[in-house]
Structure 1
Amino acid sequence: MARISRRHFFQFAGSTLATLGLSQLNIHQQAESYGKVLAQSTPRKIALLVGINKYSSQPLRGCVSDVELQRHLLIHRFGFNPKDIYTLIDEKATRSGILEAFEEHLIKQAKPGDVVVYHYSGHGSRVLDPDPMVVSSSNDKNGLNGTFVPVDASLPVGYPEQGGVVKDIMGHTLFLLMSAVKSDNFTAVLDSCYSGGATRDRRVRSRDGGSKVQISPEEKLYQEKWLSRLNLSREEFVRRYQAGVAKGVVLAATDPNQTAADAKFNGFYAGIFTYLLTQYLWQQTSTVEDAIAYAIQNLPKEYNQTPRFEVKVASGYEKQPIYFINNPSLLANAVITEIKGNKATLWLGGFDEKGLADLANGTVFTIIGAGGRSSGKVTLRSRNGLIGIATVEGVVAPGTLLRKVD
């Protein structure tokens, strides 16, 4: 199994995010007081999903799709309440917006035992930190550090001839933020990279950087603020950083020397790693180890990226159910997201690219009921990317899971 080392993870994860769930029980209607007791003891599931396409330079095309792929999976397969999923898309995903959302939605709300998911799809970069908290071989010979790139982290005017500061967020910062989350059931999914180029139908998630670009003073002050809040000296931070991942599980799109593809599929753009991962999880009850193995096996060689994972040292989390959720919903190809009369809108995230191509007008789905029994029929009438329009027979509601009839 390809496993990312702690050193390599933070080199990579700094370019996106750095450094994982128990399930929410279905409580049948019983005595009201008994139900309240059970509800109070049920772990909450919360997520923060970030996707950025609209960079002022080097724009991307599949990051917002990644957020939708992850959001539908978490709601309909893993039982997240839509109100507990906070999304930051494009212009809202500024440096301050991301940091504030992480603090308010994850750090302040998560309690011990809760399920916490963070997803980042966007550019990564590598920039100079003149005063790094940790100096190691994970920095290249010019002392560059991995970052992830908010929508407002533009390159200096006159770059590359002239240098300056950028509003990037460093891996060191995100290690501190994740250290502040009160639950170890934390999964980070990182679909980004730190270098590369582009072709017509395939781009890589990398904003230019280099030794002429420095991290901002605000970023360094923010790190100092969190050292103080966590009551950590620099020496203690370095010790913890070098010991391993701050929390739970990290799933990364590539190793540190590769590029993460932002690619065109059958009618839509997405990160190939996010698409493979989420499509697989609609179809399988999986561990971290197995999910990454699937992504590695099914990622076309021309993309030249090897997905990786890391878990908290000696935790055994790689063999735990993914997202730490033991009882996800039934396996499915698709889900009904909206009903109007006998017309339904479908999310088709459980199909791989070939499966999508094989869908045609008249394709029939069965409605998955309790225990996997079919209780009706849905007939596809049209498809646009991952969204289908269908007619329905029987009484159905949004959130109904579907399987294609073989």
Structure 2
Amino acid sequence: MAKSLILHRLWVFGWLFLGSASWSLAKNPSKKALLITIAHYADKNWAPLNADRDRLVLTETLQRQEFVSILTCINAQATRKGITQSLQQLYNQAQPGDKLVIHYSGHGCQLKDDTGDEADGKDECLVPYDAPKRFDASYSGMLHLRDDELGTWLDRLREKVGSSGQVVLFLDSCHSGTASRGESQVRGESGMTSDFLSTENGSGLFESRSGRGLGKLVFISGAKSTQPNYETKDDEGKKIGSLSYAISKAFEQLEKGTVYRVFFEVISTIMAQKAPGQTPQLEGDSEELVLGGMGVTRPTFYSITGFVDQFRTQVTVAAGTLSGLFKGAKVRLRSVDSPRGDDDLEGEVIESSAFQSKVRLKQPLPTSSMDFYKVYEYSKALDNWQLFLKTKLSENRQRTLYQRLEHNKALVWVSDSAEVLVKEQRDTLFIIHQQDAEVWQKLPLNDQWVYKTEEALQNYIQAKLLRELTLQSSNSFQAKLELVPVRLEKDEKGNYKVVEKRTASGGYPIFSTQDQGWLSITNTGKTAFYFNLIDIEPQGKTSVLLPGKGWGKEGLYLKPQQTLHYPIETISPPYGIEMYKLLMASQPFDLRMAVLNRGNIPEQESDHPYQKLFRSNFRGSKPDEMSLDQLGTASFVFEIIPARKK
């Protein structure tokens, strides 16, 4: 049965109350949530999950978003009956205009359609605590929660909140029927035989009903119905649902005026870093403002929350790894009496958890008033620069590979919890991504194997670093990347023009090898910048798209509110999730040689921060901090698939 976890501060008749479920909720439109998280099941055939971590992180996230009610239905409470009672409790609390969030972390599965309303003959289901994993043909699904019933509950909630309200469903599970593989837990497995499993794209769960007076409905899931949904590790190394992590991080980065489509783009970028083997899905009213515009947006500065010592040389700050504030970051403390920063104090982050950091100051804070100073990050520390590697090789090959790579401090050799596994089988070397056990590369075991393995691992480290590189602040450059599937033609002057444009919906923008692309880069900020554009392929190979052949670095310059367009003539393999990374700077730069040589460039030719980044990556050393006053990044994620056979 659900229980109220916390109610945020409610101002009622001028008094401040800290509420619980027994208090009357505010009559004005507000934000309310239900978190359904199942870490272990009555049927022990279901694999345990790390859904308790999802709940802890999401609860803190929603508290920071000023939700007035957060109901929880966890583990043994989350039987089929318990889940429906929790939905009823949320319904009872809901008021016209409310913004409701329902989040599910647990297993999912597919059952044979029992009403004949599914085109693919399958019902997608949530798996309550008491639902069985294996069953015979006579089982009617009475302990599962089918998509039809969930849809009825969503419609009831939409009717209750009315046309000015919202119902948002986050689903951190899957229905693919894929069993656990690799070292990351899969959130779903079907009791059905493989010939019944869905082959449709999309989430497979979304069936929206339209009508006057209904609240807006938004549904975000962690994977297609045909894909497994893997757990990942957060920035503290703790296992968590990949979508739960991405949602929390996206809320911490929320900007004013963000619609769900843009919010989903942020989630997609994070998922591409943490769970590159799956495709999150967005369905419903994607152009609505996130939480109806009632969301708490990313602050321009961080607040001091406490003093660590009596001398005021260490303070705690209300931001952590989910806000991108990592150990080693440099910050400035600016007094409210000195808006120009004449009396700034400097400090360094020495500890960082999901939502809080500890800062050591170069000199004591002169006042005990925590509200007197605002905290700004000015130099970004890059935390995830190392690769955890495991090997299963013969003794001789193990020794040879270690001797070749022992100088590389970016490689951490481990016996478990590895990101990448290198193993041999007969005459082939396999490099495997451990999260989903997918073979990333296959190399022949010839006389070049150790050099090819070194090159492959360096590519992986470089791609990982670039995917996760996020340089954003209130003072940094702002840009938008967009790549649209099109058909191009040349005019009489030889210039490309778009003759057909295809819009995408659902998950990542999808391109087949029959498509062409139209790339737009827009400076959405107030400051001009120089830029390079990097292409990061699914297998980790990186290349510089811009500047291209014949371009000088002085030409890649974008003024405020200016847009540049570039035709992409061909879309080619490898298939999978690809990322374009825009690197921005206040000074011109050219990364073509640095990327081509994987950072192996002379020190005297690598004075630019981005060139230094690639050089440290090649040497396997920790990257320098990156100045947020001079640099910025933007990303665009898309999927490449084979062309359909005619």
TM-score between both structures, scaled by the size of structure 2: 0.43
The aligned runs of 1:345-384 (5 Å cut-off) are 348=320, 350-351=322-323, 356=326, 359-360=327-328, 364=331, 380-383=349-352
SS at 2:93's partner residue? Answer: coil
Q: Is the 8 A contact 2:252 2:297 kept in 1?
A: no
The Cα shift of 1:174 comes to 1.0
In the alignment, is residue 170 of structure 1 matched against residue 146 of structure 2? yes
Q: Is the 8 A contact 1:367 1:378 kept in 2?
A: no
SS at 1:50's partner residue? Answer: strand
* Alpha-carbon distance change, 29 to 241 in structure 1, aligned in 2, over 3 angstroms: closer
Q: Is the 8 A contact 1:153 1:168 kept in 2?
A: yes
Determine the structure 2 residue equivalent to 1:80: 67
The Cα shift of 1:121 comes to 1.1
Q: Which amino acid aligns with 1:190?
A: L
Determine the structure 2 residue equivalent to 1:100: 85
Q: Which amino acid aligns with 2:94?
A: A
Gaps of 5+ in 1: 1-23, 33-38, 213-239, 312-316
Greater share of strand residues, 1 or 2?
2
The Cα shift of 1:155 comes to 2.7
In the alignment, is residue 310 of structure 1 matched against residue 283 of structure 2? yes
SS at 2:286's partner residue? Answer: helix
* C-alpha distance in 1 between matches for 2:272 and 2:62: 26
The Cα shift of 1:44 comes to 2.2
* Alpha-carbon distance change, 346 to 59 in structure 1, aligned in 2, over 3 angstroms: farther
* C-alpha distance in 1 between matches for 2:340 and 2:81: 48
Q: Which amino acid aligns with 2:219?
A: V
In the alignment, is residue 109 of structure 1 matched against residue 96 of structure 2? no
The Cα shift of 1:60 comes to 3.9
2:105 to 99, 108, 121: 121
Determine the structure 1 residue equivalent to 2:271: 299
* C-alpha distance in 2 between matches for 1:160 and 1:250: 32
Q: Is the 8 A contact 1:268 1:386 kept in 2?
A: no
SS at 2:60's partner residue? Answer: helix
* C-alpha distance in 1 between matches for 2:38 and 2:238: 16
Q: Is the 8 A contact 1:49 1:87 kept in 2?
A: yes
Q: Is the 8 A contact 1:333 1:351 kept in 2?
A: no
In the alignment, is residue 257 of structure 1 matched against residue 226 of structure 2? yes
* C-alpha distance in 1 between matches for 2:290 and 2:120: 28
Q: Note the alpha carbon deviations across 1:33-88, whole angstroms, 9 max, x for none.
A: xxxxxx96631221101111113333344322222332222221x2213xx11122
Gaps of 5+ in 2: 1-7, 17-24, 195-206, 380-646
* C-alpha distance in 2 between matches for 1:31 and 1:91: 37
Q: Is the 8 A contact 1:190 1:252 kept in 2?
A: yes
* C-alpha distance in 2 between matches for 1:146 and 1:112: 30
Determine the structure 2 residue equivalent to 1:50: 36
The Cα shift of 1:94 comes to 2.0
SS at 1:53's partner residue? Answer: coil
* C-alpha distance in 2 between matches for 1:368 and 1:57: 58
Q: Is the 8 A contact 2:219 2:283 kept in 1?
A: yes
Greater share of helix residues, 1 or 2?
1
The Cα shift of 1:254 comes to 1.6
The Cα shift of 1:264 comes to 2.5
Q: Which amino acid aligns with 1:79?
A: E
SS at 1:323's partner residue? Answer: helix
* C-alpha distance in 1 between matches for 2:266 and 2:215: 25
The aligned runs of 1:193-208 (5 Å cut-off) are 193-195=174-176, 196-208=178-190
* Alpha-carbon distance change, 208 to 378 in structure 1, aligned in 2, over 3 angstroms: farther
* C-alpha distance in 2 between matches for 1:186 and 1:263: 27
* C-alpha distance in 2 between matches for 1:165 and 1:31: 49
2:171 to 177, 190, 203: 190
Q: Which amino acid aligns with 1:99?
A: T
Determine the structure 2 residue equivalent to 1:237: none
The Cα shift of 1:171 comes to 0.8
* Alpha-carbon distance change, 241 to 251 in structure 1, aligned in 2, over 3 angstroms: closer
The aligned runs of 1:137-286 (5 Å cut-off) are 137-139=119-121, 144-156=122-134, 167-181=143-157, 182-183=160-161, 184-195=165-176, 196-210=178-192, 247-266=216-235, 267-285=237-255, 286=258
* C-alpha distance in 2 between matches for 1:116 and 1:334: 28
SS at 2:150's partner residue? Answer: helix
The aligned runs of 1:34-49 (5 Å cut-off) are 42-49=28-35
Q: Note the alpha carbon deviations across 1:291-314, whole angstroms, 9 max, x for none.
A: 222233343386322112122xxx
* C-alpha distance in 2 between matches for 1:124 and 1:287: 28
Determine the structure 2 residue equivalent to 1:232: none
* Alpha-carbon distance change, 40 to 91 in structure 1, aligned in 2, over 3 angstroms: closer
Q: Is the 8 A contact 1:332 1:402 kept in 2?
A: no
* C-alpha distance in 2 between matches for 1:120 and 1:401: 36
Q: Which amino acid aligns with 1:270?
A: I
The aligned runs of 1:392-403 (5 Å cut-off) are 394-396=368-370
SS at 2:39's partner residue? Answer: coil
* C-alpha distance in 2 between matches for 1:44 and 1:269: 31
* Alpha-carbon distance change, 66 to 327 in structure 1, aligned in 2, over 3 angstroms: closer
SS at 1:328's partner residue? Answer: coil
* Alpha-carbon distance change, 97 to 136 in structure 1, aligned in 2, over 3 angstroms: closer
Q: Which amino acid aligns with 2:83?
A: I
1:319 to 281, 287, 310: 287
* C-alpha distance in 2 between matches for 1:340 and 1:249: 42
SS at 1:295's partner residue? Answer: helix
Which structure has more RCO (C-alpha within 8 Å, separation ≥ 6)?
1
The Cα shift of 1:30 comes to 8.0
The Cα shift of 1:259 comes to 1.7
* Alpha-carbon distance change, 346 to 65 in structure 1, aligned in 2, over 3 angstroms: farther
Q: Which amino acid aligns with 1:180?
A: R
* C-alpha distance in 2 between matches for 1:288 and 1:389: 33
SS at 1:145's partner residue? Answer: strand
Q: Is the 8 A contact 1:175 1:246 kept in 2?
A: no
Q: Note the alpha carbon deviations across 1:218-263, whole angstroms, 9 max, x for none.
A: xxxxxxxxxxxxxxxxxxxxxx967699852111212221121112
Q: Which amino acid aligns with 2:144?
A: D
Q: Is the 8 A contact 2:253 2:297 kept in 1?
A: no
